[in-house]
Structure 1
Amino acid sequence: MPLVKTWQLIAGSTAAGLALSVAAVSAAGPWDSGQRKAERDRAASWEPAGGADHAAPSLPQPAPSAPGVLAGAGPGLAQAAGAAGAAEPAGLAEALRPLLDDPALGSARTASVVDTATGRVLFESGESRPMAPASTTKIATAAAALIALGPDHRIRTTVSPGTDPGQIVLVGGGDPSLTAKKKPPAGSGGSLVALAADTAQALKATGRDTVALGYDDGLFTGPARHPIGVNGNLALVSPLMADEARPDDSVSGPVTRIEDPAAHTARSFAALLAERGITVTGEPARAKAAAGTQPLAVTLSTPVSGLVERMLTHSDNDIAEALARQTALASGRPASFEGAEKAVSDRLASLGLDTAGSRFTDGSGLNRADRITGSLLTGILARAADPHHPELRPVLTGMPVAGFTGTLRARNAGDSPAAGLVRAKTGTLSGVNALSGTVVDASGRLLAFAFLSAEAPDGAAAEKRLDRLAAAVAAAR
């Protein structure tokens, strides 16, 4: 397989890749293992793990695109981004410094631009200053989860015999893609409907059609409520939760969440069993599965690669918090906010990245106590572009494409030089704005960038300045 094909797909900015997205986006179902099914089938001969989740119902025509840029990348790609290198190219510095000095960005800002193929620092300003990253934290969460679990790992939700006679227990494994919808999108993740059908079949095979239902949501520890309190941007962090505890058919955006996700999921499962001829006596209650027994039925999540892509494309906070806890579990730490913070930091350090001054108090970036440096963000992205770390590729493929998908669909759109070339994760809290990702520049290099600002007087104006910075990197030579 020619290496150039792999990196054309990763850059996500070739005319062929974007045209394919445009053609397939309406016909293909929603996210399937992290990407549209039609896109996945086409990409299968190019790339073993990856592909973006293009969620927009209709897209503009693709912008002109640079060629693949990593065909000649070799072992040197794994150099630490931010390592000492040649001086900043004068043209890039001249383009970025006036934009970075714009008062609309607020009183604090940091910038880092790195050539992913060499690790050479092309521009930096305050790159070692830890700042609140908002949702660019998800880049760190994504990388840590992929290292800890692997891109092909699937999270199990099971039904097992309980400790009491005639009891079965629905055991939550922390799958953020679990759905109770009867007609879920193909490949959308773990299905309570399929799990109920398999459970009913297994019970009937033993001559049983009446059970008591228990549920186990004890996999995660510590507070389930995020430190920001009740917020429509995320549910309680529960290992047993269907459809992100959304009470309606909404799939994104803030909405009042179901207060007890685990109990509600168990009640939904009981109703699905009843529809399949299994009588559930009483109300579902917390319980434990009998030790040493095999599950009666299992449903599996979308692969971690797909969860990462979905999280990045749509800035999904519920997936982010679930992946942070899965990282903690895989690292032998408690599945809590504190355990996840240590696990994420340790996993990033295992890549040889400097995490000094960084804090990962949550997986989503909603916590204002989070801190990340610009050089750490570009370092993660450089590792994700390294052929020696194919497990990290979904970090690149999952990020929104400027002017086309996810949270960047309306940003750097139209005739912007960044349209179709920039893949980046947005970050927005009151007074905090960030943008970090990759771009194919005018000379065909894949560059990683991170721009973070704080205390901006107008968030919308700050976003526009960040977009201009990204566009300036796209135009660099």
Structure 2
Amino acid sequence: MARHDRWVMLTTLAVLQVLAIVTGVYAMTTDFSLSALTSGSSPTEPTASPAEGSSPAPVVTSGPVLARLSVKSGDGPLPTKGTLTRLLTSALGDNALGSRVGAVVLDAATGERIFASGADTPMTPASTTKIVICAAALASLGPDTRLSTRVVQGAKPGGIVLVGGGDPFLAGPSARPSYPKQASLATLADRTATTLKAQGVKKVTLSYDTSLFTGSPSAPGWKPNYIPDGEVAPIYALTMDEGRQNPRFHMPRVSNPPQYAATAFAGLLAKRGIAVSGTVRPAKAPAGAAELGKVDSAPLYSLVEHTLTRSDNDLAEALARHVAIKERQEASFAGGSRAVLAVLQRLGAAQGIALSDGSGLSIRNRISPNALAKIIAMAGSDSYPDLHAIASGMPIAGFSGTLGNGRRFTASDSRGQVGLVRAKTGTLNNINTLAGMATTKDGRLVTFAFMADRVPGTAEPVLDRLAAIVARS
């Protein structure tokens, strides 16, 4: 879909979201639970890591709840600094936030700080890391880029190679329809079988190539339980259904995603009249090998929106590696981190950022509140059209993604701002973060980041209160 057509679609979806807000207001005034309104369409966010949905689900990804997303049109008067400072300072004193907190509110149009407390202190960002990864991916690769999975001719007669293109969203045989639409292993088998039959080939040997990504499949700073608990799969260039044994559930993950995907592909070929003999093994595809079939992912802007809305760890890690490839770094955790920082440096937004992974699972990541709020402001600006998917992909308070799980923006001091805040959550043990945007009551677009990385329990209700204060200022 062209970007022009995409924005036409988003305008249409505005009507749907207005109806959703009316429904939400009605639910609150009649004591209906917001969890009942969102049950089944939104994930829960596990304590151990940034949230993921048990399965990808359609979500409204446009930004009309924030009625004036563009900083050019969000030009109402700035909120009164004294009042905002008093309210935010009081909320930041809540003991639930723990002993280290950083906060900032920026005017999206000018970058002026409306409020700041520890704004330049790099802190553990948890899943808000995905904001900077997605910004780098959009800026480096472009929003219309697609990830390709291919089958090529092998080095020996009768041999074919399944070449991983770094698309963990590749759908396996039992995947259900999703948004964004996934590239399909079954479609790849259709196309490959058609080509082979046209060549008179009905029996092949199958290998698989994962050489696009390099290095360790797990990152420094990851807890040993993350992969067994299903928070993320081992990172490889060939993966289907994000390494899930059952695409409807986030766990268990398979220990060898490339082998699992290639074996499934062999079965799909057999059903299409192409017998696969011998053992499916890893092998590098010959340089310049003839292509037998190819499938492409959804465009990058859709993948970014999904990554942010669903807090998709696997896709975030893949995006970081694709940035590394484009920026001529090795496609590893270290290479991805260097490449992302190089892109952010070109954007003038690298200060206060140090990375070890792309998902935010690593406790070694450090990002300042100001860095997050600055990048979000850029995403809402007409000056950076390629970054708009960050703004449209962030969850909507009370409605979508990790803010639509029935736990967020439900307290009396925040539920009045349901639908009026877009923000990315971050959750690890003893770490809670929230960074996003809101239009003030007078129509000024502002961005914010609130971060606490020494939390004694959970600080999510306090972070919601802080964002709500900004939205009603």
Q: Place the TM-score, normalised by the shorter chain, in its bin.
A: 0.7 to 0.9
Query: In structure 2, what is the equivalent of residue 177 of structure 1?
Result: 169
2:397 is equivalent to residue 402 of structure 1? yes
Contact 2:148–2:295, Cα closer than 8 Å, also in 1: yes
CA distance in 1, matches of 2:174, 2:145: 25
Q: Distance between the aligned counterparts of 2:301 and 2:67, measured in 1? A: 25
Give the TM-score taking structure 2 as reference length. 0.84
Q: Give the structure 2 partner of residue 439 of structure 1.
A: 438
Instruction: Quote the Cα distance in structure 2 between the aligned partners of 1:258 and 1:310.
Output: 22
Q: CA deviation at 1:314?
A: 1.1
Match of 2:206 among 213, 231, 244: 213
Whether 1:387 and 2:387 are equivalent positions in the alignment is no
Query: Equivalent pairs: percent with the same residue?
Result: 42
Q: Contact (CA 8 Å) 1:9, 1:17: kept in 2 or not?
A: no
Letter of the 1:235 counterpart = A
> What amino acid maps onto 2:309 in structure 1?
T
**Whole-angstrom CA distance in 2 between matches of 1:8 and 1:90:** 40
Q: Counterpart in 2 of 1:245? A: 243
**Code of the aligned partner of 2:248:** S
Take 1:22 and 1:312, find their aligned partners in 2: how far apart are those partners? Answer: 25
Task: After TM superposition, list the pairs within 5 Å mapping 1:450-461 onto structure 2.
Answer: 450-459=449-458
Aligned to 2:360: 365
**One-letter code aligned to 1:238:** Y
2:79–2:440 contact (8 Å) kept in structure 1: no
For this pair of structures, how many residues does the alignment match? Answer: 430
In the TM superposition, residue 182 of structure 1 has moved relative to its aligned partner by 4.9
Cα shift readout 1:162-187 (whole Å, capped 9, x = no counterpart): 11111000000101210113564166
Structure 1 equivalent of residue 348 of structure 2: 352
Whether the 8 Å CA contact 2:168–2:243 is kept in 1: the answer is: no
Structure 1 residues 268 and 313: CA distance shift in structure 2, 3 A: same
CA distance in 1: counterparts of 2:21 and 2:240, whole angstroms: 29
Give unmatched runs, 5+ long, in structure 2.
Answer: 24-37, 42-52
Asked whether the 8 Å contact 1:209–1:278 carries over to 2, the reply is yes
Does 2:191 correspond to 1:191? no
Deviation at 1:88, TM superposition (A): 7.5
Alpha-carbon distance in 1 for matches of 2:190, 2:22: 36
1:336 and 2:332 correspond: yes
Distance 2:87 2:110 in 1: 22
> Taking structure 1 as reference, are residues 204 and 20 closer, same or farther at Cα in structure 2, changes over 3 Å only?
farther
For residues 317 and 339 of structure 1, do their structure 2 counterparts lie closer, same or farther at Cα, with a shift above 3 Å needed? same
Which of these residues, 114, 124, 127, is aligned with residue 132 of structure 1? 124
In the TM superposition, residue 439 of structure 1 has moved relative to its aligned partner by 1.1
Q: Deviations over 1:190-209 (max 9, x none)?
A: 11000001000000001010
Structure 1 gap segments, 5+ residues each: 40-49, 53-61, 77-85
* Conserved 8 A contact 2:130-2:308: yes
8 A contact 1:439–1:474 mirrored in 2: yes
Alignment partners' CA distance in 2, 1:21 and 1:213: 52
Change (3 A) 1:7 1:386: farther
> What amino acid maps onto 1:474 in structure 2?
A
Instruction: Give deviations 1:82-102, integer Å, cap 9, x for gaps.
Output: xxxx99711110110010121
Other-structure match for 1:299: 295
**Following TM superposition, by how much is the alpha carbon of 1:219 offset from its aligned partner in structure 2, in angstroms?**
1.0
CA distance in 1, matches of 2:171, 2:430: 35
CA distance in structure 1 between the partners assigned to 2:349 and 2:199 by the alignment = 54
| SS of equivalent residue, structure 2 residue 417 | coil
Aligned counterpart for 2:233 among listed residues 230, 235, 240:
235
TM-score of the pair, normalised by structure 1: 0.84
Cα distance in 2 for partners of 1:263, 1:67 equals: 47
User: Residues 109-141 of structure 1: CA distance to partner in whole angstroms, max 9, x if unpaired?
Assistant: 000101112222111111000000000000011
In 1, Cα distance between the equivalents of 2:225 and 2:297? 26
Q: 2: CA distance between counterparts of 1:223 and 1:173?
A: 17
